[in-house]
């Protein structure tokens, strides 16, 4: 009797266990169910994409447009083509505003074309600025303008106006070949600097040194220089460049 009872209890326990397992066990993922699930997910993704804002469907990263550096309004360059080679001067309005303005005016008038380098002292200066045509020189020789305060030293490669005294600058310039800082205290105010071809400036013919007479250049022009000092180097053109 006991044995029959134990068997009966065992059967009940097994049946109950199967019922519990069957209740809590998730449905099996058959191949059909996996395929249906994939189709549902695909549809959900499609619907989500259609509902997304236009800007989110395609996002492209645009590089910021490159901005070109604006040229400095306080600076311009002048290219001198000469018989000795070419050199470029960078003119700074903030160094000497009046001097820079006069140089710009003279270059635009082609004043320096044909000018001889009539005073050349090695290691010191190269001077020019008397026009080859006496009539042109006469038009400018009394157009004096005021001195600028000295903001830069007369260091090598700088350019400065020659002067006959306070506020008497007109057209003559000189390139400092060496350190002429002693001129700073005398009111000589550099307005620019040779930034290309300084080696050209240093090899300009110096054989005549200070022999050419400025009075005769003013009165007679290039014919005097060509006759008496035929190997002087000279400026072919002077033009403002970008």
* 98-146 per-position pLDDT tens digit: 999 999 999 999 999 999 999 999 999 999 999 999 999 999 999 999 9
Residue 221's SS3 state is coil
Secondary structure (DSSP) of 152-195: S---TTEEEE--SSTT-B-S-EEEESS--GGGGGGT----EEEE
Q: Which domains does the chain have, with CATH numbers?
A: 75-241 (2.40.100.10)
When pLDDT is cut at 50, 70 and 90, the band that residue 1 belongs to is very low
Residue 203's SS3 state is coil
Residue range 225-240: average pLDDT? Answer: 98
What does each C-alpha distance from 3 to 7, 9, 13, 14, 138 come to in angstroms?
A: 6, 10, 15, 17, 145
Would you say 73 and 188 are in contact if contact means Cβ atoms under 8 Å apart?
no
Q: Which residue has the higher pLDDT, 9 or 219?
A: 219
Q: Is the pTM of this model over 0.75?
A: no
């Amino acid at each position: 009797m006991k044995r029959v009872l134990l068997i009966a209890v065992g059967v009940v326990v097994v049946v109950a266990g199967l019922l519990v397992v069957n209740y809590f066990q998730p449905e099996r993922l058959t191949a059909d169910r996996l395929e249906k699930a994939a189709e549902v997910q695909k549809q959900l993704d499609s619907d989500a994409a259609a509902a997304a804002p236009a800007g989110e469907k395609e996002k492209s990263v645009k590089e910021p447009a490159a901005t070109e550096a604006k040229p400095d309004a306080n600076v311009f360059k002048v290219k001198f083509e000469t018989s000795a080679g070419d050199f470029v001067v960078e003119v700074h309005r903030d160094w000497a505003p009046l001097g820079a303005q006069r140089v710009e005016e003279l270059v635009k008038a082609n004043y320096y074309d044909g000018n001889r380098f009539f005073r050349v002292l090695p290691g010191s200066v190269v001077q020019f600025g008397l026009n080859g045509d006496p009539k042109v020189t006469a038009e400018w020789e009394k157009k004096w303008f005021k001195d600028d305060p000295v903001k830069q030293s007369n260091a090598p490669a700088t350019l400065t106006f020659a002067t006959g005294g306070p506020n008497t600058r007109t057209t003559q310039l000189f390139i400092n070949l060496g350190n002429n800082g002693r001129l700073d205290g005398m009111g000589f105010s550099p307005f620019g600097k040779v930034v290309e071809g300084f080696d050209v400036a240093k090899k300009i013919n110096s054989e005549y040194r200070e022999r050419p007479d400025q009075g005769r250049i003013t009165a007679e022009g290039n014919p005097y220089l060509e006759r008496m000092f035929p190997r002087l180097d000279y400026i072919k053109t002077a033009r403002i460049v970008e």
